[in-house]
Amino acid sequence: MKKFSICFISFFFLFFMSMVNFMMMIYFIMNNMVIFLEWEVITLNSVSVVMSILLDWMSLLFMMFVLLISSVVIYYSKSYMSSELNLNRFIILVLLFVFSMILLIISPNIVSILLGWDGLGLVSYCLVIYYQNFKSYNAGMLTALSNRVGDVFILMVISWMLNYGSWNYIFYLMFMKNDYEMYMISSLIIIAAMTKSAQIPFSSWLPAAMAAPTPVSALVHSSTLVTAGVYLLIRFNLLLIDMLFLKILLLLSGLTMFMAGISANYEFDLKKIIALSTLSQLGLMMSILSMGMPDLAFFHLLTHAMFKALLFMCAGVIIHMMNDTQDIRLMGGISNYIPMTSLCMNISNLALCGIPFLAGFYSKDLILEMVSLSNLNLLIYYIYYLSTGLTMFYTIRLIMYLMVNDYNLMSIYNLYDEDYTMLKSMMVLLFMSVISGSMLSWMIFLNPYMIYLPLNMKMMVVYVSLLGGFIGYFVSNMMIYSMNKFLMTYNISSFLCLMWFMPSLSTYGLNYYFLKLGQNLLKYIDLGWSELYSGQGMYYILKNYSIFYNFYQVNNFKIYLFSFVMWMMILYYFMLMKF
Amino acid sequence: MMKFMFMIIFMIPLCFKKNMFWLVQNLMMLMMFMFMNLNISIYYNTNLSYMFSCDIMSFGLILLSIWICMLMLMASENLLKMGFYVNFFLLNMLFMLLMLYLTFSMMNLFMFYLFFEGSLIPTLLLIVGWGYQPERIQAGMYLLFYTLFASLPLLMGIFYIFNKSNNIMFYFLKFMSFDFYLLYFSMILAFLVKMPMYFVHLWLPKAHVEAPVSGSMILAGIMLKLGGYGLLRILILLEKLSLKLNFIWIIISLVGGFYISLKCFCQVDMKSLIAYSSVCHMGVVIGGIMTLNYWGFMGSYLLMIGHGLCSSGMFCLANINFERLNSRSLYINKGMMNFMPSMSLWWFLLMSSNMAAPPSLNLMGEISLINSLMSWSWLSMIMLMLISFFSAGYSLYLYSYTQHGKYYSGLYSFYTGVSREYLLLMLHWLPLNLMILKVDWVMIWF
Amino acid sequence: MNSNKMFFLFILFFSTLISISSNSWFGCWIGLEINLLSFIPLISHSTNLFSTEASLKYFLTQSIASINFIFSILMKMTLMKNFEMNNFISIMINSSLLMKMGSVPFHFWFPNISEGLSWFNNFLLMTWQKITPMILLSYYLNKNFIIIIMTLNTIIGAIGGLNQSSLRKLMTFSSINNLGWMLASILISENLWMFYLIMYSFLISIMCFFFQLLNMFFINQLFISNINYSIKMFLLINFLSLGGLPPFIGFFPKWILINFLLSMDFFIITFIFIMTSLIILFFYIRIIYSSFLFNYINLKWMKIFLKNKNLIFINFLSFLSITGMILSTLIFL
């Protein structure tokens, strides 16, 4: 029975589906085919809620990548989570996640996107709080609620799109571009995508979500969940060209890229560094999207998925070996002992930096060249190139800490690399992260881009990379006694290190006001004035009236009889007056 | 249609014998399936009898009431074990089912009122008779008096309509129109208190918390929908004034929904949280009905049915915890996933339906209601965004607090879920999430 | 029930017949006097101080009312020759009749006296003694005056009863409240009033019968759980019925009355009526809560025995109370 565990079955199934999608994708690109399946759920007043499936090359390609990564991750988690009692629950959650992602990818219809989007948010919540400690609980809440903000915006988009009579947005986006409603829709969609892809101001959930198990991070937080927002904007890009909001998105995503790069340099938690690098690359994807080049964003999305997943997997192996610590100050010199893993790590890191002819080079370099070619202001140009330099900076710093410096954990240790399950899965991704860049650039770009740049602008990439590398090397060599001047820069470094205070703002800054408002409402209205004007108040009024009445009821009999006689006298008097 | 009334009436003598609990429950299930075989149509009322009729709206709600009554019996096995006046409980249940059935199937506005009030009495008896805490006295009083205070003016309104138009059947009243402000307020307030709307919702948390599980289920499942049903029936004849004045109710219920979802975060009692979330959902429903849109009417009906199943299921879950731990407080009910992981699945499914996650009926209902409210005024977007967001917030709060983390260290012994409880929860969840495949049966009622 | 009582009871019934079937005002007055005369022996027991005091008070109030009645009648005969309608004289006549009945604002004797009476006598006081004055009232009604009075009746009945713990006084205030409803029905038609009276008497008879059986006079006596379970349930249902909750039979008269009042466009009055009936319902429910819905310790030293024939009677009455409405729709269909 061991052969037929759920991990194996799902691995084979997903891998098979991935290959099927690959074949279909090539066929569809060659023949320029699109398959569109539709099933009507309900028609109400001439608006139809339909469940549609759109299979064109973009969705098939993305599906192929998602299925490949997820199959490899499931295979990997067979060994990574082997000591977990509830492994079946975990795998089923991962499969649910993949299913939601696929629903998102194949939907040309905003209602079925909502299905996938909501599903993604909820299942990622379940996955993040898989380990039951306080950190996971808080991280899960942050993740779920940040994603929920996006959900809410998509709900609003659904209701604004009611105006057009159909929720299949791909049909009318280009034609209705100048309407007021479309303007509203596009703003809402952009904000929704920003929450999912963790741009500023919603970026606090991504580093916090590292409380999830590493396979989850590899699948969810590197390639699938966070790219859902980018994918949504790619689908909507016909709508978004030449919009004002897109300029704001450019600024925000650029700042995300920059901020994540800086914060990654201050971090000492391995997974957080990788998370922040994901955030930085997401910012890159969003910003190139907002400059009007969705193809490049898609390209970078796909290649990034490959090497980032690989990077997370390697991090998982390392964490396992380091007795479950994640602090890089305790690691060092592992390249001596675990050559295969450090090989994978190095290749993925170099692909991340954009070293020539690995996967990341094709997408990243093309992006930077297109950025240099387009007309933009100096600030954006600086942000792009500085972020590239920062990428190199933290990459080299990470490599130095992990592989070159001394081992700091324990005096007697055993680091082993022979977990073949995990290695096999990493090999697949290694292969893909080397060749996928070139493969994709030959397949999806039918006409190559014409790049014509002056020499220094072209070499600017090399300059900043080298600069970043050098600084990374120097920073990682700093000893403890050279840090005694650090308190002078305390304010600046806490600002930069704590992700520009966004986690605190998203949690403490918002929580307090709403919870306090809720408590005050409960105390003063529900248990206060509402009670006074209805139940308790009426009771007291009536009771007091009754007590007052009793004062007249309990009386001397003579007074009563006398009052009756007086009444009769008064009537008699009036009557006589009348006559 | 009368045959079902007689079926319920002739089940009453069964209550006086011993060991009839499960027989009555199975007969109710049988009645449910028999009822599904009736012919129904969108365009007219079918199955006419003396005063009974059946169109899709009443059909769906009667189905829901039979279903929930049946599930109530399944959930109250604790009463059977302890022997707490089982016969009287069965009698109460049958009386309630009879009243609800008659309410929804009457063609006559006055008869509807009669049984609408009549269904209060078994609820009151349930709360005060089988509740757990001394606060149930106040809860019963609040329930009775809030509802009666608003519905006696409804009686006056009904007689006014009767005197003016000399008939009182729904079908003929559709062609009348009344222009009298007092009439409008007196007729609408009754249903708004029942729904409940924000300022007059105080009875609901009290009644839900103090009731036993069967009382909570029927309250959340059907009694709130009586208000919705009434509104959907009578707004047609108050159309002229509704167009002028409905904005009041929409504003109160939307802003109130936001406030209530904030108040949910401050609750310590599980049942109280679920009760407040009911008020929040019903606030959106009221908003949708009051816009007088087609989307609003359809969506509110759908959300009523979905909410009935979902809230009722959540109360069952709260009771499952209560039976084991004898407390409803969140400080004690935590970390349940360590003991009952399968129950966590049901918590998650029902909680996700509560926050309108796909593919539940709640999602479709909320989408329809958001559509109708936004088409009424785009400014409602702000409140709707806040309500949706916070409803996800408190649902997740409830789920993660009860399921994840370390369990209460004062626990002594525990038994995991029994199949009856799983069956109960599945029967709540299955219609809720699978009906989305044929949602036009529960959505389009005229 | 000994033969004395039967004799005086017979004369009581006969006196009402005299009063309502006479064609002269004098005959009415004669009937009223005989009524007073025959009721006093029914009430007073020489051994019980309370009932003696009650009978004395009753005699005083009713005789003053009768004297005023005859005085107003004579004045009417003298000054107006029995043909015109004069406001003041009609108010005088109505006032004296209202005092006979125990209606606001002349009702202060009513709770006082009922404290000294047994349950059967209370029942007579609350139902039978209203017939004659009501019918006489309908002969010479002053509409505006009666409208004010009936509104006041309902309000005072509700508010006065809120703070009571004696069952007799409570029933009295509820009787004053229902008197308001009955006055409203007299305004509309005599048939309607008769219907209301019959329904009300039916309900009150069940209540008085129950309390007589259980020998209970105060609310805290109802806490005994030794009472048979079905008795408690019937008590619950009958109180709810008396309060006017559908679907019990007590709702029936109120329904009909509200219908007719609204057809005459008495909106505010109807609103006041129904709101005060809510208050009355509140204290009914307060009573039955204590007795029925809580579990108390079983007292071993106090047991209540019920004879079998009483049980059958109780069952039948309560069955009628529960299903009366539905059965009546079958009859009047």
CB contact under 8 A, A519 and B266: yes
Q: Determine contact, residues A405/A475, Cβ cutoff 8 Å.
A: no
CB contact under 8 A, B115 and C289: no
Residues forming beta bridges with residue A47, ordered by sequence position = A44
Beta strand A47-55 pairing with A35-44: antiparallel
Q: Which of C60, C99, C111 sits opposite A553 (nearest CB)?
A: C111
| Residue A36: other Cβ atoms inside 10 A | 12
* A145 to chain B: closest CA residue: B393
- A548 and A433 assigned to the same domain: no
Q: How far is B113 from chain C (nearest CA, A)?
A: 9
Q: Which of B385, B406, B436 sits opposite A156 (nearest CB)?
A: B385
Q: Determine contact, residues A255/A203, Cβ cutoff 8 Å.
A: no
CB contact under 8 A, B392 and A158: no
Q: Tell me, what's the pLDDT at A222?
A: 83
CA separation for the pair A126, B224 (Å, rounded):
32
Helix (H, G, I), strand (E, B) or coil at A166: strand
Residues forming beta bridges with residue A143, ordered by sequence position = none
Q: Which residues touch A446 (CB under 8 Å, ≥6 apart)?
A: none
Q: Determine contact, residues B367/A111, Cβ cutoff 8 Å.
A: yes
- A441 and A409 assigned to the same domain: yes
**Which chain B residues are Cβ-neighbours of C277 within 8 angstroms?**
152
Euclidean distance between the first and final Cα of chain A, in Å? 116
Measured between alpha carbons, how far is residue A500 from residues A144, A276, A387, A504, B321 in Å?
21, 13, 16, 9, 43
Q: Which helix (H) or strand (E) holds A50?
A: strand A47-55
Count of CB contacts below 8 A, A vs C?
61
CB contact under 8 A, B118 and C282: no
On whether any CB of chain C is under 8 Å from the CB of A543, the answer is yes
CA separation for the pair A124, A118 (Å, rounded):
10
- A424 and A548 assigned to the same domain: no
On whether any CB of chain C is under 8 Å from the CB of B187, the answer is no
Domain boundary among A495, A526, A541: A495
- A470 and A516 assigned to the same domain: no
Phi, psi dihedral angles at C218 (to 5 degrees): -130, 160
CB contact under 8 A, A549 and C156: yes
CA separation for the pair A213, B201 (Å, rounded):
44
- A414 and A483 assigned to the same domain: yes
Residues of chain C with pLDDT under 50: none
**Interface of chain C toward chain B, CB-CB under 8 angstroms:** 233, 240, 245-247, 251, 255, 258-259, 262-263, 267, 270-271, 274-275, 277-278, 281-282, 285, 289, 293, 325, 333
Q: Which residues touch C319 (CB under 8 Å, ≥6 apart)?
A: none
Q: Which of C88, C95, C99 sits opposite A575 (nearest CB)?
A: C88
Hey, CA dihedral for B10, B15, B19, B21, is it positive or negative? positive
Q: Tell me, what's the pLDDT at B256?
A: 94
**Which chain C residues are Cβ-neighbours of B96 within 8 angstroms?**
none
Q: Tell me, what's the pLDDT at A324?
A: 84
- A399 and A545 assigned to the same domain: no
CA A235 to chain centroid, in Å, comes to 18
CB contact under 8 A, C92 and A553: no
Asked whether residue B69 carries a pLDDT value surpassing 90, the answer given is yes
Domain boundary among A469, A495, A521: A495
- A489 and A524 assigned to the same domain: no
CA separation for the pair C254, C251 (Å, rounded):
5
Q: How far is B85 from chain C (nearest CA, A)?
A: 11
Q: How far is B183 from chain C (nearest CA, A)?
A: 11
Return the HEC string of B189-205: HHHHHHCCCCCCCCHHH
Q: Determine contact, residues C73/C25, Cβ cutoff 8 Å.
A: yes
| ipTM of the complex model | 0.91
- A336 and A457 assigned to the same domain: yes
> Which chains lie within 8 Å of chain C at 3 or more CB pairs, if any?
A, B
Domain that holds residue A439: 309-495
Helix (H, G, I), strand (E, B) or coil at A33: coil
Asked whether residue B278 carries a pLDDT value surpassing 90, the answer given is yes
User: Please, what's the b/e burial string for A486-523 (b: 16 or more CB within 10 A of its CB; e: otherwise)?
Assistant: eeeeeeeeeebeebbebbeebbeeeeeeeeebbeebbe
Runs of H (alpha helix) within B166-293: 170-173, 181-194, 203-210, 213-218, 224-234, 239-264, 270-290
**Within the 413-432 window of chain B, which residues sit less than 8 Å (CB to CB) from chain C?**
none
Q: Tell me, what's the pLDDT at A449?
A: 85
Residues forming beta bridges with residue B106, ordered by sequence position = B52
Runs of H (alpha helix) within chain C: 3-20, 25-43, 49-80, 87-101, 109-114, 119-126, 131-139, 143-161, 167-188, 190-214, 229-243, 251-263, 267-288, 308-331
Residue B98: half-sphere exposure toward Cβ, Cα within 13 Å: 20
Q: How far is A532 from chain C (nearest CA, A)?
A: 17
CB contact under 8 A, A565 and C108: no
Hey, CA dihedral for B297, B298, B301, B303, is it positive or negative? negative
**Is residue A463 a part of any domain in this protein?**
yes
pTM score, whole prediction: 0.93
Residues forming beta bridges with residue A327, ordered by sequence position = A269
Structural domain total, chain A: 2
Q: Which of C154, C153, C172, C164 is nearest to C279 (CA)?
A: C154
CB contact under 8 A, B141 and C246: no
**Which chain B residues are Cβ-neighbours of C274 within 8 angstroms?**
152-153, 155-156
CA separation for the pair C232, C223 (Å, rounded):
11
**Is residue A433 a part of any domain in this protein?**
yes
- A488 and A360 assigned to the same domain: yes
- A334 and A455 assigned to the same domain: yes
CA separation for the pair C121, C55 (Å, rounded):
11
On whether any CB of chain C is under 8 Å from the CB of B71, the answer is no
Q: Determine contact, residues C254/C244, Cβ cutoff 8 Å.
A: yes
DSSP A374: S
Domain that holds residue B423: 2-443
Q: Tell me, what's the pLDDT at C1?
A: 65
Q: Determine contact, residues A491/A414, Cβ cutoff 8 Å.
A: no
Across A198-212, A552-566, B2-16, B329-343, least confident range: A552-566
CB contact under 8 A, A145 and B145: no
- A491 and A513 assigned to the same domain: no
Sequential pLDDT tens for chain A (579 residues): 566 788 889 999 999 999 999 999 999 999 999 999 999 888 888 888 888 999 999 999 999 999 999 999 999 998 898 888 888 899 999 999 999 999 999 998 899 899 999 999 999 999 999 888 888 999 999 999 999 999 999 999 999 998 888 888 888 888 877 788 888 888 999 999 999 999 988 889 999 999 999 999 999 888 888 889 999 999 988 887 777 888 899 999 999 999 999 999 888 899 999 999 999 999 999 999 998 889 999 999 999 999 999 999 999 999 988 888 888 888 888 888 888 999 999 999 999 998 888 888 999 999 999 999 888 889 999 999 999 999 999 999 999 888 888 888 888 888 887 788 889 999 999 998 899 999 998 888 888 888 898 998 889 889 999 999 998 888 887 765 556 567 777 888 888 888 888 888 888 888 889 999 999 999 999 888 988 888 889 999 999 999 999 888 888 888 888 888 888 888 888 877 876
Domain boundary among A435, A463, A495: A495
Q: Which of A42, A132, A155 sits opposite B370 (nearest CB)?
A: A155
Q: Which of B197, B212, B253, B228 is nearest to B307 (CA)?
A: B228
- A396 and A528 assigned to the same domain: no
Count of CB contacts below 8 A, A vs B?
128
**pLDDT classification of B431: cutoffs 50, 70, 90:** very high
Q: How confident is the model over B160-196, as pLDDT tens digits?
A: 999 998 888 888 888 888 888 999 999 999 999 999 9
Q: Which residues touch A321 (CB under 8 Å, ≥6 apart)?
A: A334, A338, A415, A416
Q: Determine contact, residues A223/A215, Cβ cutoff 8 Å.
A: no
Q: Which residues touch A576 (CB under 8 Å, ≥6 apart)?
A: none
**Is residue A240 a part of any domain in this protein?**
no
Structural domain total, chain B: 1
User: Please, what's the b/e burial string for A51-80 (b: 16 or more CB within 10 A of its CB; e: otherwise)?
Assistant: bbbbbbbbbbbbbbbbbbbbbbbbbbbbbb
CA separation for the pair A500, A276 (Å, rounded):
13
